[in-house]
Amino acid sequence: MPEPTGEEIAGLIRPGRVHRRVYADPAIFEIEMARIFGRAWIYVGHESQVKAAGDFVRTRIGRRPMVMVRHEDGSIRVIHNQCAHRGAMVVAKDSGNAKRFECCYHGWTYGTDGRLVHVPLKHGYPAHFDPDDPGTAMVAAPRVTSYRGFVFASLVADGPPLTDFLGCMTTSFDDMVDRAPDDEIEAAGGVFKHAYDGNWKLYLENLCDAAHPIFVHRSSIDAARAQDDTAHTTGAGEIAVRQMRQNGAPHEFWREQVGIWTYPGGHAFLGDYHDDEKLVAASGDPAFAEYVAALEAKKGAEETRRIMEVTRWNSNVWPNLSFMSQFRQLRVVHPVAVDRTEVHTYAFRLKGAPARMFEDTVAFANVTNGTGSPVLTDDLETYGRIGAGVTSEGAEWIEIGRGYETDRPDGKGGVEGVDSTSEVYIRNMYEAWLGFMAAP
Amino acid sequence: MTGLAPPEIESFLIAEARLLDERRWEDWLALFAEDGWYWVPLEEGQANPRDTVSLIYDDRRLLETRIRRLAEAALHAQTPVSRTSRIVANPTVEEEDGGEITVRAKFEMIESRQDNRRVFAGTTWHRLVRGGEDGFRIRWKRVDLVDCDAVHDGISVPF
């Protein structure tokens, strides 16, 4: 089957609807891997994962195995995890520290910038063999930039700078880091890796969806509501039960009070829906009081008040990153196939905050991102059902029109939903999608 | 000193596995002490459930909610339900003091749901105290999966 033309791809997106092929067609998926993941700024990790020279973590850009590494000059490099000799994957551990990367097959050895530094048995090669050629290397991503510790890479040399690409979403990253008394955060506490049999786009499409919790999460909402609060808790279960109850906020609340804002480039954030005093203000919690005092000591009362008044739930950075600045969680979506997706999730520690606070962050991670979470498992089931459903070839168009007639400019270059359950953030992602996909 | 677990402990583990296979969730919950907890770590040798995330870390309160959810009508992740088959084996007593016993055992569980079959395997650790209808109550249970840190689809059924 010939590759769809730009015109055919453009025909898959209509006002308020998209063709089911965008979730089901392997040919579309291949083009996404080349034109979106092969070109856009893609989140690859956080600087705290590679603190010292030689520190590395394995990461991905689309399906490509990559290595993010701190080079000896202090810069962060993102290099393809492939030996230039016979193609073997060089780095087999998820993380570690290395001065050099040596291939297991014939000992070709690379520096932490990916350059080939040693070729054993180097005799009889043709004249064109050049170990100094940057293409005969663990080839480096041409652009790597961070914003306040969050590292992005792009596989093309030309394109908008990262801050242009992020646009208004820099404010969500700011919010995450500003919350640290020492103005620094670090990824900590392990990495969940969960997967589902569905398309990669479904994940971000769910994370700003204010209409789904009372349907998808009905079972955990009802189970949590019936929970006897005198039952023993270490503190961890209390966080989880409170969070499950919050998902059961009334429909009017979800529609009228949450807020959904979208920005050019496919990005969006959903306002917060929490009113639980333990989860957001934690006013009665000694560790939280200690935290606020530490923040005030470092940043002053006024700045602390400003920080506490920022209330965002998920911030989606298209195409594959979503994070919760207020709750110190981050998720990275890795496409595997048109109908298979992996998601890696991270928790963050606020430098200068009391240690106890991170325990709550971990408990919150378990209930929102945990592979065995009574909440997340119902989301994963839903993605799997969409993955199966769209192969049925029934309704040709997927409806993403809720709020279409009432969305309005937000005065900051974006569009907001008047109804917080507006699917404006999905329509906005498809605008960005089309920008990348229709360009050959 | 590690030794083979006595028959009454092996019987207890077999009975517990049967409750889980038969989806008698409330009966399983009743095996736990009032301040009991259930833990499936994310990392090999994970020392602490509070500073590192876990596949499951349920104190009594959360375990009660988890079990109650498994009986909810709108439980999408278990529609249809999983059927499981467990083998427990190699039980040894690792520690015994003050009437409490730490038991180590191996398990394998096959989970079948729709057309998918998954195999889970690993080591279980039970901290048991004598008492209750079944001879023991569980103060805590830890399940170390051999692939704890691997990619998994959603996990809805406790091990």
Residue A380: its pLDDT value, please?
A: 98
Q: What percent of chain A has pLDDT over 90?
A: 91
Q: Please list every residue in chain B whose beta carbon sits closer than 8 Å to the beta carbon of residue A362.
A: 49-53
Full DSSP string of A324-367: ETTTTEEEEEEEEETTEEEEEEEEEEETTS-HHHHHHHHHHHHH
Say yes or no for a CB contact (<8 Å) between B65 and A347. no
* Mean pLDDT, range A306-334, rounded to an integer: 95
pTM of the model: 0.96
CA-to-CA distance for A422 and A431, rounded, in angstroms? 16
Q: Write down the mean pLDDT value for chain A.
A: 95
Say yes or no for a CB contact (<8 Å) between A366 and B57. yes
Residue A1: its pLDDT value, please?
A: 66
Residue A281: its pLDDT value, please?
A: 63
The residues in B 59-88 lying below 8 A from A, measured between CB atoms, are 59-66, 68-69, 72-77, 79
SS3 B92: strand
User: Of A189, A236, A347, which is closest to B62 when you measure between CB atoms?
Assistant: A236
pLDDT at A107 over 80: yes
Domain ranges of chain A: 42-155, 167-437
Say yes or no for a CB contact (<8 Å) between B65 and A223. yes
* Mean pLDDT, range A265-284, rounded to an integer: 82
* Residue spans of chain B under pLDDT 70: 1
Q: Please list every residue in chain A whose beta carbon sits closer than 8 Å to the beta carbon of residue B42.
A: 190-192
* Mean pLDDT, range A383-401, rounded to an integer: 97
The CATH architecture assigned to A167-437 reads Alpha-Beta Complex (3.90)
Residue A29: its pLDDT value, please?
A: 98
pLDDT at A280 over 80: no
* Mean pLDDT, range A44-65, rounded to an integer: 98
pLDDT at A344 over 60: yes
Say yes or no for a CB contact (<8 Å) between B55 and A370. yes
User: Of A216, A244, A365, which is closest to B76 when you measure between CB atoms?
Assistant: A216
The CATH architecture assigned to A42-155 reads 3-layer Sandwich (2.102)
- For residue B156, how far is the Cα from the chain centroid? 12
Residue A146: its pLDDT value, please?
A: 98
Residue A43: its pLDDT value, please?
A: 98
User: Of A220, A358, A381, which is closest to B51 when you measure between CB atoms?
Assistant: A358
Say yes or no for a CB contact (<8 Å) between A232 and B51. no
Instruction: Give the model's confidence band at A283: pLDDT under 50 very low, under 70 low, under 90 confident, else very high.
Output: low
Q: Is B148 on the interface with A (CB under 8 A)?
A: no
SS3 B63: helix
pLDDT at A282 over 80: no
The tally of CA atoms less than 13 A away on the side-chain side of residue A298 is 16
pLDDT tens digits along B117-140: 999 999 999 999 998 777 899 999
Cβ proximity of A61 and A42 under 8 Å: yes
Q: Please list every residue in chain B whose beta carbon sits closer than 8 Å to the beta carbon of residue A378.
A: 75-77
Instruction: Give the model's confidence band at A268: pLDDT under 50 very low, under 70 low, under 90 confident, else very high.
Output: very high
Q: Is B44 on the interface with A (CB under 8 A)?
A: no
pLDDT tens digits along A371-383: 999 999 999 999 9
What domains can you pick out in chain B, each with its CATH number? 3-145 (3.10.450.50)
Biggest CA-to-CA distance, chain B? 48
Instruction: Give the model's confidence band at A92: pLDDT under 50 very low, under 70 low, under 90 confident, else very high.
Output: very high
Chain B residue with Cα closest to A235: B59
DSSP A48: G
Structure tokens at A26: 């392997």
List CB contacts of A24: < 8 A, sequence separation 6 or more.
A199, A338, A339, A390, A391
pLDDT at A198 over 80: yes
Residue A274: its pLDDT value, please?
A: 81
A8 burial via Cβ count (<10 Å: 0-12, 13-18, 19+): middle
* Mean pLDDT, range A343-359, rounded to an integer: 96
Say yes or no for a CB contact (<8 Å) between B34 and A358. no
